[in-house]
Chain A
Amino acid sequence: MSRRAREHKAWRFNVGAGVILLMLFAASGCRGSQNVLNPGGSQASHISNLWWFYFWITVSIYCLVLIFLISAIIRTTRKPFVPAGSREVLPTNSDEERRKTIFIGAAIGLSLATLFVLFLADLFTGRSLHSLRAADALTIKVTGHQWWWEAVYEDQVASNQVTTANEIHLPVGKPVQIKLASHDVIHSFWVPNLHGKKDLIPGHPTTLWIQADKAGVYRGQCAEFCGHQHAHMRLLVVAEDEEYFQQWLSRERSNAHIPETENQIHGEKVFLQTTCVMCHAIQGTVANGKVGPNLTHVANRRMLAAGRIPNARGYLAGWILDPQHLKPGVQMPQHNLSSDQLQALLDYLESLN
């Protein structure tokens, strides 16, 4: 096989692989926990309806244009060849001219009408997105940090406030007000299955109303480049029935589990006497750091490090000893703990449910 033929084959293979990948990618777009087209709430349905409306209109226009283009090419090739310079090049035929003018005018009118319809659809979708409101709604203050999410469930009674991180729970079928703020740089709150994006701009608090109608776990992602670990700034939204939600909330309100076993007691000491206590808070202990995520009920969370790793003992150990390996640039420093200290600390953290 000549070099050229081999290159051609390789090129064809690449294109084929690309097309298959693209198709897989498109097929995977129909489900999933981080997907605009798989709505979990009324607002996301509005957005996905609008998306499909735009999609079908633009696809049909594209097909129409292609049909006209192909028919024009066929008709032109069938016409007899007219040599350049002959008088036949620009025939005058007022009837045909008039027909063409009417046709093109109608096409322009149709285009304008279509654009106007799209505009109206957009407008009404925007209106229904912003009409979600409720008095006495649950209010969650979500603050973006480099690179994690802090969530505070607001309450009139200060001791009922719940602070958690990277995982928010919502009651199904109820509008929830999300107050958004940023601690450092611009972030963007985006849970595609529930709503569109909303930027978090430092010094400019905003609000967003969301409602989950289907119970499930949805994934969110920071949607505005915010530094080295922007891609690892995810959050989980757990939508659950009112009863389960209230159970979760009351457990989150309680103080941290009091260590029982010898190892857990040692672990609490390690936590309070080494670097952990400088940044993290555990309600019910003297740990009251505001720099890192609140760890009062960390064992209940599904993920660690803003969705970077699952919440399991081995991952947690790796994360404590060398977070810079898992998430280079993260603000959590490396720790030199002895294996006794580490095991005790893991026992303690795993007991915080």
Chain B
Amino acid sequence: MKSGFGLLTASFLILISGCKREDRGFRVSAPAANAIQAISLDPIHPGGASTDELIKNDYEENAYALSEGKRLYSQMNCVGCHAHGGGGMGVPLMDDKWIYGSRPEQVFATIVEGRPNGMPSFRGKIPDYQVWALVAYVRSMSGLASQNAAPNRDDHMHLGPPESSREQQSPKDVPPTK
């Protein structure tokens, strides 16, 4: 009886998580557009450390947003420099090395602000909610987004495993090489 109840609860929870995964938000506001104010790349702060609140990007659990991120990744030409995660002119995105931070708000800032040695600023060029979709997809490339929601197939030929079955990397902060 007890196990039956447990099973029922578990299946209910699975169902609920499924709703979130398949939710298609066409008219949405970005998860945390103001988060960019709180981002810092430096651990040293005047007057004591600021509270380091972790920002959660709901898009990392949403299959539609992740696939939109994947579409934008090539349409906005991220693919031109970062290739399909292996890097080229730009740094690889499917490994565990992050020069400017791996947390969602840090990736968001990197896209919006641009970074030295080639990464352009996309401020005002991509709406915030689409940047958040890109952030979710970029993190899914190294297995940091939900594996249940990450894209598991590609429209074109793809040599590597799909994003949904990438091994989750443990992000390491590394300084820029130049």
Q: Residues on A close to B: CB < 8 A? A: 184, 202, 273-275, 277-279, 291, 322, 324-325, 328-329, 331, 333-336
A273-B124, A279-B75 known; 4 other A-B pairs, CB under 8 Å? A278-B76, A278-B126, A331-B71, A333-B130
B5 interfacial contact with A, CB 8 Å: no
A335 and B26 within 8 A (CB): no
Which A residues touch B124, using CB under 8 A? 273-275
B127 interfacial contact with A, CB 8 Å: yes
B2 interfacial contact with A, CB 8 Å: no
| Total contacting residues, chain B, CB less than 8 A | 13
B52 interfacial contact with A, CB 8 Å: no
Q: Residues on B close to A: CB < 8 A? A: 24, 26-27, 71, 75-76, 124-127, 129-130, 155
Which A residues touch B71, using CB under 8 A? 331
A291 and B75 within 8 A (CB): yes
Question: A327 → chain B, closest Cβ, in Å?
Answer: 9
Question: A279 → chain B, closest Cβ, in Å?
Answer: 7
B26 and A324 within 8 A (CB): yes
Which B residues touch A331, using CB under 8 A? 71
Is chain A's interface secondary structure helix, strand, loop, or mixed overall? loop
Quick one: closest B residue to A335, CB to CB?
A: B127
In the A-B complex, the 10 residue pairs with the closest CB atoms: A324-B26, A328-B26, A324-B27, A333-B127, A291-B75, A278-B125, A329-B26, A333-B130, A275-B125, A274-B124
Quick one: closest B residue to A203, CB to CB?
A: B156
Q: A184-B155, A291-B75 are in contact. Are A275 and B27 (CB under 8 A)?
A: no
Quick one: closest B residue to A278, CB to CB?
A: B125
Complex-state Cα separation, A274 to B126, whole angstroms:
8
Taking each of B26, B76, B125, B129, which has the highest tally of chain A beta carbons within 10 Å of its own beta carbon?
B26
Q: A184-B155, A275-B125 are in contact. Are A334 and B27 (CB under 8 A)?
A: yes
Complex-state Cα separation, A278 to B77, whole angstroms:
10
